[in-house]
Copies of this chain bind each other. A is one copy, B any other.
Amino acid sequence: MELQENERIDDLEYKNLKIIQNKNLFCFGIDAILLSDFAKEIKKNSKVVDLGTGNGILGILLCGKTELSEIIGIEIQKESYELALRNIELNNLQDKFKVINSNIKDIKLERNKYDAIITNPPYKKKDTGIKNENKQKQIARHEIEATLEDFIKVSKDLLKPKGEIYIVHRPDRLVDLIYELRKNKLEPKKIKFIYPKENTTPNLVLIKAVKDGKPFLKIEEPLIVYNDDGTYTDSILKIYNKKEG
């Protein structure tokens, strides 16, 4: 596949999966890797929706890590949507991974149908944080086109009863996450905090919630990313598939 200006191709070092990224668009980070690992329990033959699919990284990883039957990515930005299409082709996933170019609020998918939702939504509120970045990155990072509440409401509509949603977000939004999830009958069942190092505050949180689930939350062991010497911890190397699990 031919690369365009500002593009590079990265080897995901997992089942020979690859991804084209464009440095002017949102490039994936450890967030996507950790979320796909957290969601790898998605069951065989699941129908999945990825809300805010970007260049397709989450869907591509999930196609490698699970035996899902079908995944639909929703992406509002034309450039990212087109990049996702090329990434799907690059990995020969056209049969199971479709993408729709739409705001998540406008999609017309069947309600109460899907087994799982996965999403790495914009982390920041509309008018907070530094915005010295281009429009495309702003839309990916800030709640400009859709808020966390929108992502959760759409998920509630799409999921079948007992369907599961997997989210990665920032810990400072945990109250918003938990409040909106329960309000929408998506009961948080599992939370994992990610710490950059030992003895620090967490900088990411992973949440699994179940539609119409019974209240009982499990908070998992902390996941530490770096050792004191700056190298990855064994837990992270396992997730990156560089160490025996």
Contacts and interface: CB of A to CB of B under 8 A. Distances in A.
Q: On chain A, which size bracket covers the interface?
A: 20 to 34
Nearest to A187: B175
Main secondary structure of the interface of A (DSSP, over half): mixed
A127 interface: no
B188 A175 contact: yes
Interface stretch (A72-80, A135-143, A196-204): A196-204
Nearest to A191: B174
Nearest to A189: B175
A238 B119 CA distance: 41
Nearest to A182: B179
A131 interface: no
A43 interface: no
Given A200-B221, A201-B219, A220-B201, A178 B174 contact: yes
A168 to B, nearest CB: 15
B172 A217 contact: yes
A172 B218 contact: yes
A97 interface: no
Nearest to A199: B221
A171 interface: yes
A202 B219 contact: yes
B171 A217 contact: yes
Interface of A: 171-176, 178-179, 182-183, 187-188, 191, 193, 195, 199-202, 215-222
